[in-house]
Amino acid sequence: ERRVDFPVSVVLPAGGTGERTGLQTPKQFCSFLGRQLISYTIQAFERVSWIQTIVVVVAKENTDLMTDIIQRFQHRKVRVVPGGSTRHRSICNGVLALGSGQDEEGGSTAERPKVVIIHDAVRPFVEEDFLYKIAMAAKEQGAAGAIRPLVSTVIATTSEGYLDHSLERAKYRASEMPQGFTYDVIHQAYQSCTESDFEFGTECLHLALQYCGTNAKLIEGPPTLWKVTYKRDLAAAESIIKEALSRTACVITGGSAQAVTLAEALQKAVGALEMELDAIPDLMGDNARYLVTEWNFIHVSISGSCLSEVEALLTALEAANRAILHPLVVILVHLSTSDELSISGRMAEPAAITDLASAAKLRNIFVYGVLLQQSKDTDCWERSVLRVAEITSALIRERSSALVGQLLQA
């Protein structure tokens, strides 16, 4: 366990206008899976126990939106501070707010931090261990910053637009975020810097060097620190979240032999699709832990109605407050054992399932159904199981809200 025995807070400038995304909305306020990018970034800091306060600096016109996001996704630790006309003015506002020990309404807040971490609202994948390195190096050296190897050769151009020379790549690095500073260094840097720095400067590290004589410690960060800049980066970020949510699922069998057999066959089949299934009879006792850890549930039923069990599952998930940050997926796999059910009445009460799914969707739980026909023919049965595996795995990966409530045929 890593101990940080000094107060650390965060400034998250989020005043950008998103010109480069090709989108109307500033990119930090663009959504995927029903949530704005900035909320993912806030979450990355909020889950770190030793981080005290997260100051989000937003343009005046986005204050209401930001307040809504904080309420809706139940963010704690967050204070909203009005932005300035440039990135440095916004960061400076955030730093000063941390020093004041007061929030906008004059309420008292946490103690003045020893270290301030500055990050971008559009880099949602920063991890605790890297924040730890930045915080410790900042405390030690006064300043620390993330770097990455250069992805392209950097070249100097002549004034006419021709190649002048190329830089020796090994000697240079790209400066990224997060960066960390002792409160004193970043405060002093902003006290001392010029209007021109506020207007045109890009690097906090540079201000710390120029005005405090602090040479920042540079630490190589992982590629996931990249900045969401273009519309395609939003798709990339969404794919990373979706992949993280799709690695495992919990199959609830009810304990019947047929359902257990099906669950075991599914475990094998989805293994090839790079997903792991845990099969359990129910969510009682020790298995209740899945309610607080798992993002995907596959409920297997053999015949007759399973709606009351599924309703109980949905109620338990809601009670555990699980679907605040990410949509949960619940798939009803119904194994039909008698031939006359094949087309009409394929599953008990399809309309009831659709209604249940509509209600669950409002609580960010995506319910789908998959219908499977028992077969004595081994080949036919194996094909069906494989289809169930493909369909459930696709539903879990895609998390499509448009397909909620559909009954699919394996």
DSSP string, 91-144: HHHHHHHHHHTB-TTS-B-SPPPSEEEE--TT-TT--HHHHHHHHHHHHHHSEE
Considering only 64, 68, 164, 339, the residue that binds a copy of itself (CB under 8 A) is 164
Query: 47 CB contacts (<8 Å, ≥6 apart)?
Result: 128
- Residue (63 or 210) nearer to a copy of itself, CB: 210
Q: What angle do CA 184, 197, 229 make, to 5 degrees?
A: 95
Alpha carbon 394 to its chain's center: 20
Write down the least CB distance from residue 256 to a copy of itself, Å.
27
Distance spanning both ends of the chain, measured CA to CA? 47
Identify which of 42, 66, 38 has the alpha carbon closest to the alpha carbon of residue 54. Answer: 42
Identify which of 144, 147, 142, 136 has the alpha carbon closest to the alpha carbon of residue 187. Answer: 142
Identify which of 247, 249, 262 has the alpha carbon closest to the alpha carbon of residue 290. Answer: 249
Q: Kindly write out the interface string for residues 316-355 of this chain, putting x where it contacts a copy of itself by CB under 8 A and - elsewhere.
A: ---------------------------xxx----x---x-
CA distances from 156 to 151, 152, 172, 176, 321 (A): 16, 13, 14, 21, 54
- The interface partner of residue 400, options being a copy of itself, Mg ion, none and the CB cut-off 5 to 8 Å by kind, is a copy of itself
Q: Kindly write out the interface string for residues 177-206 of this chain, putting x where it contacts a copy of itself by CB under 8 A and - elsewhere.
A: -------------------------xx-xx
Considering only 55, 69, 204, 371, the residue that binds Mg ion (CB under 5 A) is 204
30 binds Mg ion (CB under 5 A): no
Interaction residues for a copy of itself, span 215-274 (CB under 8 A): 215-219, 223, 226-227, 229-230, 232-233, 235-240
The letter for the amino acid at 287 is N
CA distances from 223 to 1, 63, 174, 205, 218 (A): 24, 31, 12, 20, 15
Considering only 172, 191, 192, 293, the residue that binds a copy of itself (CB under 8 A) is 172
Query: 267 CB contacts (<8 Å, ≥6 apart)?
Result: 251, 276, 277, 279
Q: Which stretch binds a copy of itself (CB under 8 A): 54-62, 106-114, 147-155, 260-268?
A: 147-155
- The interface partner of residue 298, options being a copy of itself, Mg ion, none and the CB cut-off 5 to 8 Å by kind, is none
394 binds a copy of itself (CB under 8 A): yes
Q: Which stretch binds a copy of itself (CB under 8 A): 77-85, 153-161, 279-287, 311-319?
A: 153-161
Instruction: Write out the two tokens for 264.
Output: 């075991």
Cβ atoms within 10 Å of 337's Cβ, excluding its own: 12
Q: Which stretch binds Mg ion (CB under 5 A): 71-79, 183-191, 198-206, 344-352?
A: 198-206
**Residues in binding contact with a copy of itself, number by CB under 8 A:** 70
- The interface partner of residue 213, options being Mg ion, a copy of itself, none and the CB cut-off 5 to 8 Å by kind, is none
Q: Is 60 exposed, middle or buried (0-12, 13-18, 19+ CB in 10 A)?
A: exposed
Considering only 203, 264, 282, 390, the residue that binds Mg ion (CB under 5 A) is 203
- The interface partner of residue 204, options being a copy of itself, Mg ion, none and the CB cut-off 5 to 8 Å by kind, is Mg ion
Interaction residues for a copy of itself, span 123-142 (CB under 8 A): 141
- Residue (50 or 381) nearer to a copy of itself, CB: 381
23 binds a copy of itself (CB under 8 A): no
CB of 132 within 8 A of CB of 195? no
Give the integer Cα–Cα distance in Å for 32 and 18.
16
Considering only 74, 140, 154, 352, the residue that binds a copy of itself (CB under 8 A) is 154
Residues lying near a copy of itself in the complex (CB under 8 A): 20, 141, 143, 145, 147-148, 150-158, 161-167, 169, 171-176, 202-203, 205-206, 209, 215-219, 223, 226-227, 229-230, 232-233, 235-240, 343-345, 350, 354, 390-391, 393-394, 398, 400, 402-403, 405-409
Residues lying near Mg ion in the complex (CB under 5 A): 203-204
